[in-house]
Amino acid sequence: MTAIISPPLLDEPVLHEDAPAPAPAASPRPAIRRRRRPSPTLVVSAAVLAVVLAWAVAPALFAPFSPYTQVAAALQAPSLAHPFGTDAVGRDQLSRVVFGARESLLGAALAVTVGLVVGVLLGAVAASIGGAADAVVMRVVDVLLAIPGLLLALTVVVLLGTGTANAALAVGVGSIAGFARLTRSEVVQVRGTEYVEAAYGSGGTFLTVLFGHILPNSLRPVLALLALQFGGAILALSTLGFLGYGVTPPDPEWGMIIAQGRNLLGAAWWVTALPGVVLLLVVLATNRISQAIGAAR
């Protein structure tokens, strides 16, 4: 009898002898999202700022001695008892640097607050209204940008008088232009988006749309500038303190502490060098954090 071979069904694959076997289907795996580890420089910068902020909040917990009284012989070199040495009066330099963090950081915070509030409002209003208001505000900003920041701060502090608050206000006036220009450029980009037009179409007023939609979506670069300006304000206030326009002695402040040892570099380098290193580390730390904020998505 002849064997009857039935043809293959349509839904069954036809396999030839030389054809390779089909590979088994891979089971779907959920995508694993890897987290980026922070860079070592960013971790060190955050640690430096955390320590200095702790000095400013509670200096008595970190300063081994009073910053106003003589505790040892004058101009002692750094040692275990006095890690930063002593100054020309015999006061502990580390204690003075720790207590000086309050004046420097609070003054810088006041300065960037003035620049942030005034600059953001000017930039946002100029970009939102446009026309003549935009032109007038931007010409004022151009004038402020044309004046060197230190010269402008010196002019303001000479008119207002010495002191931490007046020096901080003077530095804050110099930072208004940067905040205003950056805010204007960001608001110009955001105000033409669809969700802003939808907010106006649904009955939103100018102020509600500005503070509810435009500004919250424009502040990421402004926050990066805020961190950068904070370090710049610390440096500017220290410069004014070095020139004698900061706090009144014997209150400690970083710029004044450095100025008191400028004539002792040959005999007692630590009086100026070690407070200067602290100031340098804090400014570099704020710059690194500003870069991290700007690069974040």
Domain boundaries, the chain: 105-255
Q: Which of 274, 250, 270 is nearest to 103 (CA)?
A: 250
Burial tier of 60 (Cβ tally within 10 Å: 0-12, 13-18, 19+): exposed
Q: Residue 61 has what DSSP assignment?
A: G
Cα–Cα distance, 297 to 293 (Å, whole number) = 9
**Model pLDDT, residue 218:** 80
pLDDT at 31: 47
pLDDT recorded at residue 22: 54
Q: What is the enclosing helix (H) or strand (E) of 270?
A: helix 270-295
Taking CA atoms, 228 is separated from 138, 252, 266, 284, in Å, by 22, 24, 34, 9
CA distance 218 to 182: 9
Distances (CA, A) of 109 to 103, 168, 215, 283, 287: 10, 8, 21, 14, 15
**pLDDT of the chain, 297 residues: tens digit per residue:** 444 544 444 444 544 545 555 555 544 554 445 567 778 999 999 999 999 999 999 999 999 999 999 999 999 999 999 999 999 999 999 999 999 999 999 999 999 999 999 999 999 888 888 888 889 989 999 998 898 888 888 988 888 888 888 999 999 998 999 999 999 988 888 877 777 778 777 777 777 877 777 888 888 889 899 999 999 999 999 999 999 888 888 889 999 999 988 888 888 999 999 999 999 999 999 999 999 988 875
CATH 1.10.3720.10 is held by the domain 105-255 = yes
Whole-angstrom distance, CA of residue 107 vs CA of residue 232: 12
pTM: 0.81
Coil, strand or helix: which one is 166? helix
Q: State the distance between the two ends of the chain, measured CA to CA, in whole angstroms.
A: 78
Residue 198, C-beta contacts closer than 8 angstroms, at least 6 positions apart: none
DSSP string, 18-45: TSPPPPPPPPP-PPP-PPPPPPHHHHHH
